[in-house]
Amino acid sequence: MARLPEPLPLTLALYQPDIPQNAGTMLRSAACLGASAAIVEPAAFPTSDRHFRRAGMDYLDALAIERHASWRAFEEWRAQAGRRLVLLTTTGETILWDFAFRAGDILMVGRESAGAPNEVHAAAAARLVIPIAPALRSLNVAAAAAMALGEAARQLRGTGEAM
Q: What is the pLDDT of residues 114-123, one digit of tens each?
A: 999 999 999 9
The H or E element that residue 154 is part of is helix 141-156
Taking only the tens place, the pLDDT of each residue in 41-95 is 999 887 765 666 665 567 777 888 999 999 999 999 999 999 999 999 999 999 9
Distances (CA, A) of 25 to 1, 8, 16, 96: 20, 18, 15, 20
**Dist. CA 107–CA 124, nearest whole Å:** 10
- d(C-alpha 162, C-alpha 80), whole Å: 18
Q: Is the model's pLDDT at 162 over the cut of 90? A: no
Q: Binning pLDDT at 50, 70 and 90, where does residue 4 land?
A: low
Question: What is 11-156's CATH number?
Answer: 3.40.1280.10
